[in-house]
A and B are shown apart, each in its own frame.
Chain A
């Protein structure tokens, strides 16, 4: 047993001694082992490469001290072909050379001193990627800072890499690249496809080519181009803050983000996405919206539609993400639109917010808030004589037979919009129908295309309609779904003798009217005042006034108020008939305060009179009426009446 132990111990000592000898030889002159012949033999035997050739292979080693060596080498015209995992690499290197000192101290560890940068020059490199997905090996967290530190460590010599042609073929698509890299002790510069990366141990900057194409599916719009791309980053132990700037067409883009280090193993996982997106924020600024639109829109749409096409100005979008519950991040964005023309303005902010799942990027709900600061829009000129035309095409007319709507596979995103305009300048609509712009305020919550809650308010307005002054004192439309929107409005008609007030209230589809006046008048007389400037009355106490009939017609919706108001513009102030008394009445305006009324029944014209307003609810009324006494003798009755009319 002892013998066996002695034998085994001896063999082990011999083996260790041999390794020690090899190490000593390698330490004294590694080229004894690492040389052209041995490397060539190892490559051939291992069959790592399908094929390899080189024209020249030189490696030399110079002993300076036991811990300081100079290593030089030069390989010319090195070509190889390698096939592995379905990938095929066929490459030729014109020159691979190095010349540096390798040193070791207990204090600093290994370090190098470059006499000539490590040079790699490849004339061509053809890489054909196979269809098999690349098997990712499991690894731990990616410590970028460590790798970055390695790049700048003293161990890594200066480098000059140049790859003149890299042909990458994947799924029968071939793309060509070139790549070169110069690395020195304190700086690095790399170029490929027009991109330039410059770096030093603390920071880096990636500059893009003149124009980076961003594909667009809509062919009529064509691809977008990103210009003057600059991605700057600072590499620290904890994170890499990133700043991206450039121009997406005419829009200046600035995006910031921060990569927290170390990076997790799974970069497509929810945790990494959430932590990264939570640091993203940025700004897109279009300095001349009209120009940007004309440059970017499809050929047929190069001009903005009226009334926007006379406006020019800035559009600015700011956005950022903050962490939310679960695998969500919350997007906040603020778009500022500031467009102006000589008569118009569009100054508003659009705020958007959504909780976005980091894996699907399909938010369940999108909240949009529009805040109108100053919006002045000129409406198209409308004829006062004809009703407005149909401005919008009717979507109910379709080119094909009816098909039931398809049930959506995925729940569509709920879009909730909050519209807010709550100051005096918020929204002004200028129309030729009104003397002053219509000033609107609103606070509306729109969900899935319909207004759920809120109100629209018109600020006071003075104008003239059919030669009568009209003051819109108050108008409010209140939305409270599922109830029909309700309108409430107060309109004043400041007539010479009276101030008539029209209260509108009720569902928007059919608001109800109510009138009051100052001095107060009965409802029936208010119609007459509104239409003709004065009440209708009669000496005969049993006569139902003509305006009462007007009241009925109005109340029953037979005659619209606007038609009556239109009639009021003519000298014929009233034509009416009372079916009870069978009497017809007509009234004509003589002067602004005086009217002539004639009346008659089946027997013909039998009454006439002049009514004159004295103001403040006082009238003087004169009549002449043909009558019959009980003895059937015909007579004429002449009369005058001073009258005061009021309600309370």
Chain B
């Protein structure tokens, strides 16, 4: 028995404490490190390379030090004996203490708190140190210090990170010197800037400006150059312009529509003010359609005011029906950035005219209706800066539309839709944070009480269910799964997320969604449709991938509709 124990002990100790020989010239004590082929070639020499065939021990030591640092071994001991490099790699370091020196108590406190939360007990490597410096610099830039310098030092004996911050002065954005774009008025891009010249610098707002320009596809790219001088700071913006117009056309045939031709044209930088215009035309034996869209900015002195118009002309000649539809939406749009929020106001009429002939009923219906529409959206810059999956900020919107028999609609109907979402960091937990989110949607179509619900078009009615709505139910299956819909809806969704769930791109979440519906205007039935659940999200390279489980429940009378599982790409809170 003793012999077996001895053998086991020897095997164990030799495995743990024996030297790992990587090549005749390099030996490292302890557990073997999994070096890449490139790394091995650089410390042992590369027989396939003429110039790197032989690495002298002192060079191997120099290079190896970097490799070990990238794995958290910060205090190795090297010794060259008879041409062989012997390495004691030491212990793996983790961040034990973070000390911030900034000459500004508040700044030191805030940055130290954040860095400790994010990095304490994490493996201390060069890339980790870079991340810490990057985060500290990001904090400076958010707080109005564009010219701050961040450096760090690590005491490898105590694993203490000292972050040396020279914030420099606080600056305002100032007048941004923009590169001239041929053919565009100097104010043409004003609508994309969330900040004013005299506003305190915030690096995030530069990012947001860039994102707005790219999202609108007005230009192919833009970037800012920051110039820090002695007691002054200035910004310069340059653009990658690219072609503005796209044209595509095609001709073909399909079994549904027969021979067809299609053309699409778009201009993302039309006129002096970089207006957005597009047109598409499709012609087949069965369907002929024309769509014109314009976000036209005619006023050079009012760069955030536009004529937002859409015209659709559609003629369909199907086997069982024929229809001709004209939709016109000439509206005005204003945008503004105020109090760290971007706001959009759209007002104007919409007109729809059409004829519908059904073979079954052998009659021809003509309709002509005008709608007065208005919408207002207010979105915080914090919210807007996220591309796919916001983690903080707020958004509110209200939309109104008015239909009247005098304008051609069957009933006098006013539709009011409101929504609000607020996301915020509740606390920090581990490397991530606990995010709380609440979303409210409320809407009603105000119409006389005797109006026939089934006769109303779907766009004035409310439905529920789906991964973006009440998450325990299938898409648009509420309040009844017959397509009838409702005239009022109130939806309240709550969600708690834990970000950085084992991986920085993965989060777990739990939620409760609840909704009321009503078949009358401004009236909700007592029945609550609700669904608690939990799930997992992955911000993948191709978009948000999520899966969740929810229990579909309802009250009055209480009913359990069972489990609901969803897995798919996309979806929002």
A binds B: yes
Give A contacts to B, CB under 8 Å. Answer: 300-307, 309-310, 341-344, 377-378, 380-383, 386, 388-394, 396-402, 482-484, 486, 503, 505-507, 510-516, 520, 522-523, 537, 539, 541, 549, 552-553, 555-556, 558-559, 563, 575-579, 582, 584, 602, 619-621, 623, 627, 629-631, 635-648
Name B240's contact: one of A396, A505, A638 (CB within 8 Å): A505
Given the interface pairs A389-B42, A396-B129, the reply to whether A639 lies near B256 with Cβ below 8 Å is yes
- List 14 extra interface pairs beyond A514-B220, A643-B252, CB under 8 A: A304-B56, A378-B51, A383-B36, A386-B38, A390-B67, A392-B66, A576-B543, A577-B542, A579-B571, A579-B572, A638-B256, A640-B252, A641-B252, A642-B251
**A22 to B359 CA separation, bound complex (whole angstroms):** 165
Contact call B282/A541, Cβ cutoff below 8 A: yes
Given contacts A402-B153, A577-B543, A639-B254, contact A381 B46 (CB under 8 A): yes
Partner of B250, one of A555, A636, A644: A644
Q: How many residues of B contact A (CB 8 A)?
A: 97
The 8 tightest CB contacts between A and B, nearest first, are A639-B254, A307-B51, A643-B250, A641-B252, A577-B569, A512-B221, A514-B220, A579-B570
CA distance A400 to B67 in the complex (A): 21
B442 at the interface (CB under 8 A from A): no
Contact A483 B227 (CB under 8 A): yes
* Residues of B participating in the A interface, judged by any CB pair closer than 8 Å: 36-39, 41-42, 45-46, 48-59, 62-63, 65-67, 69-70, 74-75, 80, 99, 101, 126, 129, 151-158, 160, 162, 164, 211, 214-215, 217, 220-223, 225-229, 236, 238, 240, 242-243, 245-257, 260, 262, 264, 280, 282, 289, 318, 320-321, 387-388, 475, 539, 541-543, 568-572
Chain B residue contacts of A514, Cβ below 8 A: 220-221, 240, 242
Contact A307 B52 (CB under 8 A): yes
- In the complex, are the beta carbons of A505 and B75 less than 8 A apart? no
Inter-chain CA distance A186–B513, complex, in Å, is 117
Contact of A575 among B37, B67, B542, B570 (CB under 8 A): B542
Report whether B56 and A389 are in contact in the complex, using a CB–CB cutoff of 8 Å.
no
CB<8 Å pairs between A and B, sample of 30: A301-B58, A302-B56, A305-B58, A306-B45, A306-B52, A307-B51, A380-B52, A389-B70, A396-B153, A400-B157, A402-B160, A402-B162, A483-B226, A483-B236, A486-B225, A513-B220, A514-B242, A537-B248, A541-B289, A553-B543, A576-B543, A621-B252, A631-B320, A637-B254, A639-B256, A639-B260, A642-B252, A646-B247, A646-B248, A647-B243
Given A577-B569, A630-B320, A306 and B250 touching (CB < 8 A)?
Answer: no
Measured between alpha carbons, how far is A549 from B225 in the docked complex, in Å?
28
CB contacts (< 8 Å) of A636 on chain B: these are 255
Q: Complex Cα distance A646/B445, Å?
A: 45
Give CA–CA (A391, B52) in the complex, Å. 14
Cα distance A394–B124 when bound, in Å?
12
Query: Chain B: which residue is nearest A556 at the CB level?
Result: B387
Contact of A512 among B57, B69, B222, B571 (CB under 8 A): B222
Query: Chain B binding site: helix, strand, loop or mixed by DSSP?
Result: mixed
A301/B56 in contact, CB under 8 A = yes
Complex contacts, A377 vs chain B, CB 8 Å = 51
Q: Chain A contacts of B260 at CB under 8 A? A: 639, 641
* Residues of the A chain whose Cβ atoms lie less than 8 Å from the Cβ of B66: 389-394
Complex CA distance for A438 and B562, rounded to whole angstroms = 63
CB distance from B97 to the nearest CB of A (A): 11
A640 touches B160 (CB 8 A): no
Q: Which residue of A lies closest to B475 (CB)?
A: A602
Asked whether, in the complex, the Cβ of B155 is within 8 Å of the Cβ of A398, the reply is: yes
Q: Which of B70, B243, B246, B251 contacts A390 (CB 8 A)?
A: B70
CB contacts (< 8 Å) of B388 on chain A: these are 556, 558
Which residue in chain A gives the minimum CB-CB distance to B539? A558
Instruction: State whether A644 touches B245 (Cβ < 8 A).
Output: no
Return the chain A residue nearest B250 by Cβ.
A643
A300–B243 CB distance below 8 A: no
> B248: which of A503, A507, A644 is its contact (CB, 8 Å)?
A644
Query: In the complex the two chains form, what is the Cα distance from A505 to B251 in whole Å?
Result: 38
Closest to B164 in A: A402
Cα A307 to Cα B75 in complex, Å, equals 27
